[in-house]
Chain A
Amino acid sequence: GAGVSQSPSNKVTEKGKDVELRCDPISGHTALYWYRQSLGQGLEFLIYFQGNSAPDKSGLPSDRFSAERTGGSVSTLTIQRTQQEDSAVYLCASSPGVGQGSTEAFFGQGTRLTVV
């Protein structure tokens, strides 16, 4: 379909391992967002991309978290040396971007990360 696609949908990893989460936004959307949602909690902002640059990465919880976006499209969120507190659903969203009017953000179905 033409929606936001995230992979994997589920990931179980051992504490201390690195993981990479992928987001494929809606074609033509220049703005891309990563959020994190722990069980029963609200959405926690992680990072925002406009094109390939990240004007706001204030939400990344530690230097173990990094994200990049290439070609103004696909983004990857990398978590190094995972900890149990990193377990959450990682949601990616995209929107048309600056200057395109105030429109909604469209979400992918998320990656459920479990660190054991």
Chain B
Amino acid sequence: GDSVTQMEGPVTLSEEAFLTINCTYTATGYPSLFWYVQYPGEGLQLLLKATKADDKGSNKGFEATYRKETTSFHLEKGSVQVSDSAVYFCALSSSRNQFYFGTGTSLTVIP
């Protein structure tokens, strides 16, 4: 079945460091891919998305490219800030109208 595998955390980085969180997926058909962010005590918010192969989603300095050949959607940011500390979830929407999330990666950015 469809699934998302996400890099284990937690991840701790210094401010202005480069961030990569790996995400790979298994799906039939052509899913849309998403990154959601969850700040402490809150629900999830959409960070970025891509709906077809080679699309690049971007928002707030974060980027991810939909790579069909490697079934990946890695999240990157060139220079993280303390305010980026949160839990990040990779997700896909399946052809069966369902949604699948990865297990989440906790990021802590220290000044």
**Is A bound to B?**
no
